[in-house]
Amino acid sequence: MNTSVAPNVAIVTGAGRGIGAAISEQLARDGWRVLGFDLTWPATNAPALQSRTQVDVADYDAVAQAVDGAEATHGPIGLVVNNAGITRDAAAHKMDPRSQWSAVLNVNLTGAFHLCRAALPHMRARKFGRIVNISSMNALRGQFGQANYAAAKAGMIAMTKSIAQENASLGITANCIAPGFIDTDMTRAMRPDILVAEAAKIPVGRKGTPDDIAAAVVFLSSAAASFITGQVLSVNGGQLMP
């Protein structure tokens, strides 16, 4: 339970569905006041969220404005979770440089930088912050058809380690989670035969759930994890042991 007096406002990107919705719910149960940033919002209100803001994480000005607005309206931001992500799969030799390569880099890597960039000055001024970035197992091994996605998620790991070094002395931790195969819209969009084959490769014998990832976010955001920074926590049912 987050019982410390540290800032307890959290921003979660991509909070409208999938892993981001589960992260928001578990953080709220842990005592965080959760603000959701997302591209579009479902019609029904997510009860875990204090606010729902429409933000494209690829747009720095929009992110910076939303962060400053959140600080003014809800108070000091203690945690940012960079969860928003997209896939635009194609083999590298057929990948469109703009609609597939740049689109994925702009959201999955640059989008995460944007939120860190906007939140860090606030965190540094208060000498407290938690950053949790949702990377991927495929950042650690590559994946057929995902040169864009794997590169973005690997870049996120290097960015996180750099931010961890720059801010460790100021009470700010930055870590990544590398999910394996998680049952969400993103994986349900895969070809059914590939989906079955991928699920069969998981040693624990089941697909991951959004709650499996959310539990790891809660831990890395907690006071118990204050000595953990610059790390990559794999949550993948044993599929990859880097």
What does DSSP say about strands 49-54 and 33-38: parallel, antiparallel, or unpaired? parallel
When the beta carbons of 40 and 169 are compared against ligand NAP, the nearer one is: 40
Active site residue 60: no
**184 part of the interface to ligand NAP, by CB under 6 A:** yes
**182 part of the interface to ligand NAP, by CB under 6 A:** yes
Select from 7, 18, 78, 155 the one that contacts ligand NAP (CB under 6 A).
18
Q: How many beta carbons lie within 10 A of that of residue 116, not counting itself?
A: 21
Identify residues 131-160 at the interface with ligand NAP (CB under 6 A).
134, 136
**237 part of the interface to ligand NAP, by CB under 6 A:** no
b (16+ CB within 10 A) / e for 16-47: bbbbbbbbbbbbbebebbbbbbbeebeeeebe
Select from 90, 105, 170, 186 the one that contacts ligand NAP (CB under 6 A).
186
**14 part of the interface to ligand NAP, by CB under 6 A:** yes
Select from 5, 45, 185, 192 the one that contacts ligand NAP (CB under 6 A).
185
Contact present, 40 and 55 (Cβ < 8 Å): no
When the beta carbons of 39 and 170 are compared against ligand NAP, the nearer one is: 39
What does DSSP say about strands 172-179 and 129-134: parallel, antiparallel, or unpaired? parallel
Q: Which long-range contacts (CB under 8 A, 24 or more apart) does 95-104 make?
A: 95/147, 95/148, 100/148, 101/147, 101/148, 103/148, 104/148, 104/149, 104/152
**23 part of the interface to ligand NAP, by CB under 6 A:** no
Select from 107, 119, 172, 218 the one that contacts ligand NAP (CB under 6 A).
107
3-state class of 11 per DSSP?
strand
Eight-class DSSP state of 170: G
| Residues with catalytic function | 149
Residues that bind ligand NAP in the complex, under the rule CB under 6 A: 13-14, 16-20, 38-40, 55-58, 83-86, 107, 111, 134, 136, 179, 181-182, 184-187
